[in-house]
């Protein structure tokens, strides 16, 4: 028996004393997919000719080795997957279409422009998710898209939203799987607007037009995403939390919570139970905002742990779709993928290993002191032994040895990129 197995056997007995089945926790974790974002691999540049970011999005740093095309991006992602345990998905933006060098307007994108991504997903045995791209485009230069006062510009972006849903449908049907199709727009005002209602009326009208088309089955999971503010929209965002919560409730579609899109003192974890009373499912973008939506690499911190605790304690992982969302150009981009994904998995496993039933029993008795004691005592349980066992089961590195693998890949592959 290996040292990892010996440590796991001992940990399993320790957890069992508190009524926690570690084997079941691992089985549950293995069933919860994590959608890994394509845009970390190339600094959100995409393949449709954009040379800089707009829409309040900023990727800082100039670490060498950025993926320059789809082949490189897929190769980098596949290498990262080999170091990430669990069930994985890959999250695409519309700007990652492959058009064979031909200029294709985003409003005219077709499912065939993503055929190579679908074929790759089948090879990797992963799912795909999708996002229309309402930024880094001449018709988004003003900072307004679906709420733009110009009707013709709104129509362009409405057609893009419709095209994205059809692409998501085609991907879903080809993979015989669901595809989350998440919509976010950068629209907003840098300074105080005189009219707050008008843009929201236009945004609602545009969304209604996008979602009016009935798709042939339920494989596309539509969702809308709010934001508190952004660069260039510091004073007003029509797509606020209140706006999209109401819209998602009315339309019975999903609501996306990006952890960087709220005030630093707000708890996304606390919103989950309240929101699920009114919407069918949630998408949660795991991110790490520092002071603003800075999209730092996810680490295993209290905010991520609290979100995972809520999901596990309520047993609603079938109604939650977890995805990573950050982009850091100052570090090795593959390391950024691996760090964030493994941190998210750690937080989920930690939540699954809490003695929740014992905590609930004390809560029902009104013994809140014992409940708090159990929460605190569970922090020192042998979590690391279970994590290493899980990684070994998944055939990925159990500890930091993956770092050397990434460094070797950097020398052999990334160093050759201009």
Cα Rg of the chain (Å, integer): 22
Using CB atoms within 10 A of its CB, is residue 383 exposed (0-12), middle (13-18) or buried (19+)? middle
User: Are 349 and 29 contacting, i.e. CB atoms less than 8 angstroms apart?
Assistant: yes
339 in helix, strand or coil?
helix
Catalytic residue list: 184, 225, 227, 258, 261, 285, 293, 295, 325
The secondary structure of residue 259, as a DSSP letter, is T
Separation between Cα atoms, residue 265 and residue 259, nearest integer Å = 11
Strand partners, 255: 224, 282
Q: Where are the alpha helices (DSSP H) in 280-394?
A: 302-314, 333-352, 356-365, 368-377, 383-393
Q: Apex CA 229: angle with CA 224 and CA 235, to 5°?
A: 125
Separation between Cα atoms, residue 91 and residue 34, nearest integer Å = 10
Q: Provide the 10 A C-beta neighbour count for residue 356.
A: 21
Separation between Cα atoms, residue 62 and residue 64, nearest integer Å = 6
């Amino acid at each position: 028996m290996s040292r990892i197995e010996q440590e796991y056997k001992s940990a399993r007995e320790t957890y069992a004393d508190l009524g926690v089945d570690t084997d079941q926790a691992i089985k549950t974790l293995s069933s919860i997919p994590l959608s890994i974002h394509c845009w970390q691999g190339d600094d959100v540049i995409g393949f449709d000719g954009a040379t800089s970011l707009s829409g309040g999005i900023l990727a800082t740093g100039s670490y060498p080795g950025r993926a320059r095309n789809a082949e490189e991006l897929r190769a980098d992602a596949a290498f990262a997957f080999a170091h990430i345990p669990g069930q994985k998905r890959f999250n695409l933006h519309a700007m990652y279409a492959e058009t064979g060098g031909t200029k294709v307007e985003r409003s005219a994108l077709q499912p065939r422009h993503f055929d190579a991504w679908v074929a790759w997903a089948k090879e990797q045995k992963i799912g795909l998710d999708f996002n229309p791209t309402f930024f880094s485009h001449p018709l988004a230069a003003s900072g307004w898209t679906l709420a733009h006062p110009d009707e013709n510009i709104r129509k362009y972006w409405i057609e893009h939203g419709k095209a994205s849903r059809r692409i998501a449908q085609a991907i879903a049907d080809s993979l015989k799987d669901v595809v989350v199709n998440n919509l976010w727009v950068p629209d907003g005002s840098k300074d105080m607007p005189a009219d707050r209602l008008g843009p929201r009326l236009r945004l609602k009208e545009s969304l209604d037009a996008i979602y009016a088309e009935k798709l042939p089955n339920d494989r596309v999971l539509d969702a809308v995403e709010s934001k508190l503010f952004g660069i260039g929209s510091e004073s007003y965002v029509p797509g606020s939390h209140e706006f999209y919560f109401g819209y998602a409730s009315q339309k019975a579609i999903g609501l996306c919570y990006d952890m960087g899109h709220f005030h630093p003192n707000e708890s996304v974890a606390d919103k989950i139970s309240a929101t699920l009373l009114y919407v069918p499912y949630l998408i949660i973008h795991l991110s790490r905002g520092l002071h603003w939506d800075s999209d730092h690499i996810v680490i295993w911190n209290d905010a991520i742990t609290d979100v995972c605790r809520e999901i596990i304690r309520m047993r609603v992982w079938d109604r939650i779709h977890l995805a990573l969302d950050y982009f850091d150009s100052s570090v090795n981009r593959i390391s950024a993928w691996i760090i964030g994904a493994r941190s998210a998995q750690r937080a989920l496993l930690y939540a699954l290993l809490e003695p929740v039933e014992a905590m609930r029993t004390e809560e029902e008795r009104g013994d809140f002191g014992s409940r708090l004691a159990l929460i605190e005592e569970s922090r020192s349980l042998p979590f690391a032994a279970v994590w290493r066992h899980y990684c070994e089961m998944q055939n990925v590195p159990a500890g930091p040895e993956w770092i050397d693998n990434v460094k070797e890949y950097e020398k052999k592959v990334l160093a050759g990129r201009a």
